[in-house]
Chain A
Amino acid sequence: MARAVTTRRKTINTIAAWAIGLLIFFPILWTILTSFKTEAQAINDPPLFFFFDWTLENYAIVQERSDYMRYLWNSVIIAGGSTLLGIVIGVPAAWSMAFVPSKRTKDILMWMLSTKMLPAVGVLYPIYLLFIKLGLLDTRFGLTIVLMLINLPIIIWMLYTYFKEIPGEILEAARMDGATLKEEILYILTPMAIPGIASTVLLNIILAWNEAFWTLNLTAAKAAPLTAFIASYSSPEGLFYAKLSAASTMAIAPILILGWFSQKQLVRGLTFGAVK
């Protein structure tokens, strides 16, 4: 009897969850579908769902008219570069706090976290001014540095929580056996830390890819990544839904795929280890 109830319940759960899941996913699905329509089909009333003439022309037009690849490349450089830099700076910091903690470690961690809470708009003009003075406005280098700095606290925190889970006894044993600091890091710590570092990289690329305050305010034509490119569609001329959809689909596809791999790490990273 218990089993029968379970099956019925399971069916109801399944139907309810799928209905809600599809509803939430619908705007993304709709964007993807629209990207394969002609402009006339895109605004057809009643809306066309699957039965239309599938076309790839929007993708070609977006690339041809707007040099889409350049924005994509900017996004890749900025998100990838800021992540790489952040890891290079973050790993040693997180390592030392996790394995050689001092009285002040907790304070330093909390202080780092507090820099993440600083509202960007509060320092908008100073950064803008510094960027002009240093010739960094509308450069990929400048944006890479800023995105690295805003995400560095998350990188360090995430790495710290991962490193903390590596048992200290292993390190002590290595030290007993006469391993130097360099050997300790290279042969013992690094292999154990790679999964944590990989998750951190993944989450950070997602955050940097989607960042839309500094990328909108510190770039113009040259260094604009996809966030800024898409924003340029906000004042459209004529029919453009299908092209907007094609551009949007291309902008979100890589991150959707990366994101699906990083669900679990997302929670840890965004709650600073408070929920695991």
Chain B
Amino acid sequence: MATQHSRSAARFMMAPAVILLLGWMLIPLTMTLVFSFKKYLPLRGGDLGWVGFDNYVRFVSSSAFWPSVQTTLIIVGGVLLITVIFGILLSILLDQPMWGQGMVRILVIAPFFVMPTVSALVWKNMFMDPVNGLFAHLWKAFGAQPIEWLSDASLFSIILIVSWQWLPFATLILLTAIQSLDSEQLEAAEMDGAPPLARFGFIILPHLSRAITIVILIQTIFLLAIFAEIFVTTSGAFGTRTLTYLIYQRVLESQNVGLGSAGGVYAIILANIVAIFLMRIVGKNLDA
């Protein structure tokens, strides 16, 4: 029914958003791309000319690269595993009839609203500190030697902190998905004598598969980019330097912009691979 008039008005109304986002995307992206082909050291001579693919080769052949990829995969994989498994269990539990359901929900999702720097510092100092942390008190109460969490079990500690932040997200989305499940179907299965595990495996899990995929994809994109949690806990030490953190160090700490930009291009490609799958699901939803 749209008239020619409303069409041009629509285009006009869309223009600011489109132009801004286009600029936000294209300008920095082009700059990163240009820098990545240059030897560019702002504090040591500035722009030292074109070097072709040199930075790309050096970034992947540096001794820090593969460990950072490994760290990234362990952190992202670990957090995904924990949040998805516990998210499924928790959302099923929260869907059951109980007293004070609304209140429990509030308790469970609260960590999501805590800013990353706060959660990282609270965990680091008040829980994981080897002298005064709550875990240290607990360990000592059982006569055990307190653990230096962030140096001796650094990856595990970061995974724990980040999982605590993201479990609410997974739980909330899976809970929303479970609540859209037709309860008659479950009741019918129960009447027919299907044991709980079978009901879970054949009805609940397939119903959740789409939501699980969405949780995994969205979390992957955010988890690949975690920064503050590492910045305030270990600053990349003790084997916690992720790809994101490595690029940050190359660019701002050692001011090797060419090298860091090449790393940035790798990160952009990596994020895009994940994004393609996510967009496909979201896009399908648009048609429906």
Chain A residues close to B by CB (< 8 Å) = 6, 9-10, 13-14, 16-18, 20-22, 24-25, 27-28, 30-31, 34, 43, 45-47, 89-90, 92-93, 95-97, 99-102, 106, 108-110, 112-115, 117-130, 149, 152-153, 156, 168, 172, 175, 181, 206, 209-210, 212-213, 216-217, 226-228, 230-231, 233-234, 236, 241, 244-245, 248, 251-252, 255-256, 258-260, 263-264, 266-267, 270-276
Contact check, A119 vs B279: say whether CB atoms are below 8 A apart.
Answer: no
Chain A interface mostly helix, strand, loop or mixed? helix
Q: Which of B249-270 touch A at CB < 8 Å?
A: 251-252, 257, 260-261, 264-265, 267-268, 270
**In the docked arrangement, what's the CA distance between A22 and B287, Å?**
41
B7 partner, pick from A30, A100, A121, A228, beta carbons under 8 A: A100
Chain B at the A interface: SS class: helix
Query: Is the CB–CB distance between A275 and B211 below 8 Å?
Result: yes
Min Cβ gap A49→B in Å is 11
Bound form: Cα–Cα A244–B126 in Å: 10
Contact A121 B248 (CB under 8 A): yes
Q: B218 — which chain A residues lie within 8 A by C-beta? A: 270-271
Cα–Cα, bound, A274→B279 (Å): 10
Query: Which residues in A have their C-beta under 8 angstroms from that of B118?
Result: 31, 230, 248, 251-252
Min C-beta distance of A212 to chain B, whole Å: 4
10 new A-B contacts, CB < 8 A, other than A259-B109, A270-B218, are A10-B98, A27-B126, A100-B6, A106-B287, A118-B268, A121-B251, A244-B122, A252-B115, A259-B113, A273-B285
Contact A21 B121 (CB under 8 A): no
Whether B247 lies near A231 (C-beta < 8 A) is no
Residue of A nearest to B31 (CB): A126
Q: Check A25 against B110 for contact (C-beta < 8 Å).
A: yes
Residue pair A27, B227 in contact (C-beta under 8 Å): no
Which B residues touch A124, using CB under 8 A?
Answer: 247-248, 251-252, 260, 264
- Does B45 count as interface, using CB distance less than 8 angstroms? no
Q: Tell me whether B17 and A209 are in contact (CB under 8 A).
A: no
- A34-B126, A230-B121 given; A275·B214 CB < 8 A: yes
Pairwise interchain contact A175-B1, C-beta atoms closer than 8 A: yes
Residues of B in contact with A (beta carbons under 8 Å apart): 1-2, 5-7, 9-11, 13-14, 16-18, 20-21, 24-25, 27-29, 31-32, 35, 90, 93-94, 96-101, 103-119, 121-127, 132, 134, 137, 140-141, 164, 167-169, 172-173, 176-177, 211, 214, 218, 221, 224-225, 227-228, 231-233, 244, 247-248, 251-252, 257, 260-261, 264-265, 267-268, 270-272, 274-275, 278-279, 281-283, 285-287
The answer for the CA separation of A244 and B10 in the assembled complex, in Å, is: 50
Contact yes or no, A236 B122, CB < 8 A: no
Q: Please give the distance in Å from A37's CB to the nearest CB on chain B.
A: 11
The answer to whether A93 and B14 touch (CB under 8 A), given A18-B100, A270-B169, is yes
Partner of A236, one of B6, B11, B125, B127: B125
- With A13-B96, A267-B176, A275-B211: A129-B107 Cβ-Cβ less than 8 Å: no
Minimum CB–CB distance for A102 against chain B, Å: 7
For A113, the chain B residues whose CB sits under 8 A away are 279, 282
- Residues of B within 8 Å of A273, CB to CB, are 282, 285-286
Contact A122 B282 (CB under 8 A): no
A241-B107 contact given A126-B27, A212-B117, CB 8 Å threshold: no
A217 to B245, CA, bound (A): 12
CA distance A34 to B176 in the complex (A): 34
- Select which of A17, A43, A217 is within 8 A of B93 by beta carbon: A17
- Are B108 and A25 in contact (CB-based, < 8 A)? yes
Pick from B7, B17, B97, B122: contact of A13, CB below 8 A: B97
